[in-house]
Amino acid sequence: MHIPHPKLCWAIPCCVFAFQAMAAEQPMDGIFQARVETITITNQAIGNAAVELRRQGFPICLEFNQPRAVPVSIVSFKTDTFARVLEQVAATYPEYTYNTDKNTGMVNIFPKGGALSQEKIGAVTITEKSVYDIFQDNLARAKSTVSLFLARGNLLGFKQLVISVDFHGGTLSEYLNAICLAIGDGTTWTLFPHRNGGNLLFHFRNPFTHLKAYKGDDTYRLPIPKQIERYSARLAGATSDKEKSGLCVSLGVLYSQSGNKKRAEELFAQAVDLAEDEARKWSIKEFMIQYRYHIRPGTDAEDALKDYMMIIKSCPVPSVRLGAILDAAYPLRVLGRLDEGAALLLSALKDYPDNADLIEYTMKKHFPGYVSQLPTRDRVAEAKKARAAFYEVREPDEKTKVIRYKYDAETKTHIRTEE
């Protein structure tokens, strides 16, 4: 059973906002001659090299397979051209290769064997559709195995990013590149394959409200007091408990950010009372912990950890419990309880095998010295199994009808067959 993480539903980490000069704004040929400042990576997987290149403004998109063990080395990519640094990255991580999408200027890095991002898909036309809705559609093509990573609070943002794409067919990576180009402002992506397909994380240079695809109102652009005023007016006019609960959560976050912790607690409590079911109540309880405390060595980290452990021990909702486990990793790291944190994540791997990529990512982020304890996985076999399982449709009478889509090179489309 696949259990989506409550705050990353479809799952990572988060959507990343980076503010820097954008090397990708150079002409296609020119970007490869652009200078890359020295990058030093200590005992890190290729994902960290991609992060460093993005920070310098280069359009790097990555399909990331968690390694069996993090390389034990210090790698320094000296100041050089982007083209030469890419060659160095490929030599340092030989299980990966890369290509360039001439239509978008994106550089795609992906595993040499069984890469999900290199699967062929047919033509796709999207007209004025939100990014959220694009990935909710269950289309019979490779991209339908891909789920979007939602960070906390970003669901509304993804619904307010509205784009149009005219994709003429190609690889999944080229399709994702086209979506990033439509979103604009240097957006890139990371794809995390798993046994049921893949989880997708977008990286934005600017907040949602500053992206060219943003079609929402201007609330997020306002100072916090003005945002509180606007949300309070919406709450006063709300009619359903579900709507009121969501607005209470938003106001609780704003009051917390303004320093009024007492009012924030009152609003979060009200949101819990108004929530439509137990799963939502537990989700709010887990979510509010990050706004209740400013986690740092000392009292706040201890108190936050106690709250997370209460949810881990008591919550009957698996997805919320997993969220608490992942969030507890940070205060455990701050408190220096590394053995305990690593053990918690290793135990979670047994309880949530379909969320292995997210758990392994958290281990690498907070407890890199324990990555070698992660179980070995045959990711190529998992990817092949995922694709085979995707095409099976279980009917009510328990008989299996297998729907296959064969790529036709002449028409550049996928032709449906049933067995």
| Token pair belonging to 302 | 């201890």
- Select from 194, 241, 209, 258 the least CA-distant residue to 5: 194
Which tens digits make up the pLDDT trace of 119-141? 888 888 888 888 888 876 543 33
- Select from 125, 144, 118 the least CA-distant residue to 10: 144
- Which residues 6+ apart lie within 8 Å of 380 measured at CB? 111, 113, 114
Give the predicted TM-score (pTM) of the model.
0.53
**Which own/partner pairs from 408-416 qualify as long-range (CB within 8 Å, at least 24 positions apart)?**
412/122, 412/123, 412/168, 412/169, 413/122, 413/123, 413/169, 414/120, 414/121, 414/122, 414/140, 414/141, 416/140
What DSSP state is assigned to residue 398?
S
Provide the residue ranges of all domains of the chain, joining segments of one domain with +. Answer: 16-210, 219-373, 383-418
pLDDT-derived band at 264, boundaries 50, 70, 90: very high
| 365 vs 105: CA distance, rounded Å | 29
| 189 vs 82: CA distance, rounded Å | 19
pLDDT at res. 402: 45
Q: Give mean pLDDT, residues 359-371.
A: 89
Q: Give mean pLDDT, residues 39-48.
A: 75
Could you give the 3-state DSSP secondary structure of residue 182? helix
Q: Which residues of 359-378 are buried (b: 16+ CB within 10 A; e: fewer)?
A: bbbbbbebbbebbeebeebe
Q: Give mean pLDDT, residues 143-147.
A: 52
> What fold does the segment set 219-373 form as a domain?
1.25.40
Strands 170-171, 120-121: pairing kind: antiparallel
| Token pair belonging to 207 | 């907040």
| 388 vs 318: CA distance, rounded Å | 27
Range scoring the smallest mean pLDDT among 3-7, 299-303, 336-340: 3-7
C-alpha distances out from residue 204 to 9, 183, 198, 211, 357, Å: 18, 9, 19, 8, 22
Which tens digits make up the pLDDT trace of 201-259? 888 887 777 788 888 766 666 889 999 999 999 999 999 998 899 899 989 989 998 98
pLDDT-derived band at 185, boundaries 50, 70, 90: confident
φ/ψ bin of 400: left (φ > 0), alpha (ψ from -120 to 50), beta (otherwise): beta
CATH superfamily of 16-210: DotD protein (3.55.50.60)
Which tens digits make up the pLDDT trace of 13-22? 333 333 333 3
What DSSP state is assigned to residue 164?
E
